[in-house]
Chain A
Amino acid sequence: MPVIKVHNLSKIFGKRTKEAQKLLDKGLSKEEILEKTGSTVGVNRASFEVEEGEVFVIMGLSGSGKSTLVRLLNRLIEPTEGDVEVDGENLATMGKDDLRKIRREKMSMVFQKFALFPFRSVLQNTEFGLEVQGTDKQERSEKAKEALELVGLGSFVEQYPSQLSGGMQQRVGLARALANDPEVLLMDEAFSALDPLIRKDMQDELMDLQEKMRKTIIFITHDLDEALRIGDRIALMKDGSIVQIGSPEEILMNPANDYVEKFVEDVDRSKVLTAENIMKRPETVDVDKHGPRVALERIREQGLSNMYVIDRARNLKGYVTADDVSAARKQEQKDFHGIIRTDMPTVEKDTPVHDIFEIIHDSQVPVAVVEEGKLRGIIVRGSLIAALANGNGNEVNGDDA
């Protein structure tokens, strides 16, 4: 069941919102509407659902309405029209007290510029949400300390925000948001103010935490790398509208329109990186030495659904599927005769990653990287995405062991 359901959600800043809405219906652009009415379209009829435990990334260029959208979700900004359902309750129409209850118990927010209270210590900052709820002192200090342990700041409780580095401050921001154990985390460009290295650490850490916590996370970013690294699904915004929602692969491989494509092209290294940079060591069987028995064993061991077949000189012969091998094994067949398939996609070592997208898209088997007919490596979808997100192909190569 979706935790958050957003339907037709709009925000128009300015006075003549009714008029602006009408013009929107007529299909006028954001700029035209601004010119005609003086009102700014922040978010234009956004609809989407976020499942429990999902990391839902909202991405778009500056001014596309990301911050506005995320603030509509906890109603820091009043919607002009539309619904936001959280666990089946409509936030957009509920009274102040109910809204406060949801903000206290179900949703927390992490801010781009951390928004820590400078006159409160790290611990007191982390306790803020619980304090507001009226939790007693003992309990809130325990929970806050737990949250600080979780983000690795257990020994900094007495410090003040100004004494911490940016990365540490945002950990406090994260701990503050986690301390009251919300269902939903709203993160508005939470890592954008950090320098690139620390940013990557924080992304990894968030993913580690997410493994344990399984929160529903709405993560805003203007950075495709970040979106690819942490998003289960990505929504792309332009001029206040959501133009595409999909998994990272879908977005990369089927850009819904020019806008998305441009965005994706910005990931320049997809042109720079080649197959060689991102390939993994293949699991193979040797057609001259092995038979279905060995193949089946290896396939099971590795949890695969197929495996490449080579000869003694590493020449690529084709691949076998788990089903075929298993059937051959039952018939006590000794060699791969008749079950080797050859319809696998192959690329050269120097094929740019960009071109591999199209090939890998509808293939059931990993892409084979060959050099003069010899199998050098394989590329699976996951590593393709990861390579783009990582920014360094060799790193993927490095940790494939």
Chain B
Amino acid sequence: MMLDIFSKLTFLSIFTDIKEFFNKQIPVADWVDEAVKWTTDTFSWFFDPIKEDFGDQLEKFAELLADIPPSIVIVITVIIAFFLSGKKFGLPSFTLVGLLFIYNQQLWEQLMSTFTLVLVASLISVIVGIPVGILMSKSKWAEAIIKPILDFMQTMPAFVYLIPAVVFFGIGMVPGVFASFIFATPPVVRFTNLGIRQVSKELVEASDAFGTTGSQKLFKVELPMAKTTIMAGVNQTVMLSLSMVVIASMIGAPGLGRDVLSALQRASAGTGFVAGLSIVILAIIMDRITQNINKEKS
């Protein structure tokens, strides 16, 4: 009898232990907080200059763009669109009407800020992403390590990046570029990797058979063969970067996104629509132009 109760008790106590364990939250969030704080403190020598100098540069560049008379910018963009689209009239007409509309809606300055952010963020993504993609294509190990990181970067909700971005870089353009870099780099890395791995075995053999070094093979055969695929990745990166830059208005990045945000806060459907439409116009122009660069050269 005694024994029976005793065993029942131990059983219960184990059960409550487990229950307690699951009730008590593992402090992952606290750990991340601490890690972020530690990183900010330890690397402030690194983050602070970026925050200030780089931020200044970005703003100056955006101002510079905004200072150029819009008519000139529009004409140049239309000309570029004309030649890249193979001297057809669809894209240039759309570009002309779209940009005039944005100008007419008094959103020109915002457009230039957004464009600056997208340009800089995508440039950094591409400059970092292509070499990483090459590394991945050359090494099974690198691929095994980098692939899950890319998955993580892409599936984590975009808003989450805004938090460390603010912690590291304060508010403004720089954290916008940072968040966009993390969010938009994966496609160009993936497509570079894919493009190089897709180069036909015979062409790689031909290259080897003529005694190419590793870098000769890369630059004379693999990259030219992979170019179309890589450019498709660049196109995606630019698009993702644009979407992130809009979201980044929540942490004070200037541009069209900010107008959307303030329209949201004031529940004013009209201004929200106009700003949103301007973003769509910019997106279409950038998409078609990057796609046509691809077609033109392949």
Stretch among B36-44, B121-129, B200-208, B271-279 lining the A interface? B200-208
Interface string of B214-241 (1 = CB under 8 A from A): 0010001100110100000000000000
Interface string of B33-64 (1 = CB under 8 A from A): 00000000000000000000000000000000
Q: Are B209 and A74 in contact (CB under 8 A)?
A: yes
Kindly provide the distance from the CB of A257 to the nearest chain B CB, expressed in whole angstroms. Answer: 33
Kindly report which residue of chain A lies nearest to residue B298, judged by CB atoms: A119
Q: How many angstroms from the CA of A53 to the CA of B212 in the assembled complex? A: 26
B148 close to chain A: CB less than 8 A: no
Q: How many angstroms from the CA of A232 to the CA of B213 in the assembled complex? A: 35
B21 close to chain A: CB less than 8 A: no
Chain A residues bordering chain B, tally (CB within 8 A): 27
B211 close to chain A: CB less than 8 A: yes
Q: What B residues does A107 contact at CB under 8 A?
A: 209
Kindly provide the distance from the CB of B230 to the nearest chain A CB, expressed in whole angstroms. Answer: 13
Q: What B residues does A108 contact at CB under 8 A?
A: 209-210
Q: How many angstroms from the CA of A140 to the CA of B8 in the assembled complex? A: 91
Q: What A residues does B208 contact at CB under 8 A?
A: 76, 103
Stretch among A14-22, A127-135, A221-229 lining the B interface? A127-135
| Total A-B Cβ pairs within 8 A | 58
Q: Are B203 and A101 in contact (CB under 8 A)?
A: no
Q: How many angstroms from the CA of A115 to the CA of B206 in the assembled complex? A: 6
Between A107, A117, A133, A180, the greatest number of chain B beta carbons within 10 A of the residue's beta carbon is seen for: A117
Q: Are B224 and A101 in contact (CB under 8 A)?
A: no
Q: Are B202 and A115 in contact (CB under 8 A)?
A: yes
Q: How many angstroms from the CA of A338 to the CA of B52 in the assembled complex? A: 116
Contacts of A32-84 to chain B: CB distance below 8 A: 71, 74, 76
Between B200, B202, B298, the greatest number of chain A beta carbons within 10 A of the residue's beta carbon is seen for: B202
Could you tell me the dominant secondary structure of chain B's interface residues? helix
Q: What A residues does B203 contact at CB under 8 A?
A: 115, 117
Q: Are A104 and B221 in contact (CB under 8 A)?
A: no
Q: How many angstroms from the CA of A119 to the CA of B225 in the assembled complex? A: 8
Q: Are B210 and A76 in contact (CB under 8 A)?
A: no
Kindly provide the distance from the CB of B80 to the nearest chain A CB, expressed in whole angstroms. Answer: 24
Q: Are A103 and B209 in contact (CB under 8 A)?
A: yes
Kindly provide the distance from the CB of B153 to the nearest chain A CB, expressed in whole angstroms. Answer: 32
Q: Which of B211, B220, B221, B225 contacts A101 (CB under 8 A)?
A: B211
Given A103-B211, A104-B210: A111 in contact with B202 (beta carbons within 8 A): yes
Q: Are A100 and B211 in contact (CB under 8 A)?
A: yes
Kindly provide the distance from the CB of A193 to the nearest chain B CB, expressed in whole angstroms. Answer: 11
A113 close to chain B: CB less than 8 A: yes
Q: How many angstroms from the CA of A205 to the CA of B209 in the assembled complex? A: 23
Seed contacts A103-B209, A117-B224; 16 additional CB < 8 Å A-B pairs: A74-B209, A99-B211, A103-B208, A108-B209, A109-B206, A109-B209, A111-B202, A117-B225, A119-B224, A119-B225, A129-B211, A131-B220, A132-B211, A132-B220, A133-B211, A186-B209
Nearest 7 Cβ contacts at the A-B interface: A104-B211, A103-B211, A115-B206, A115-B202, A109-B209, A100-B211, A129-B210
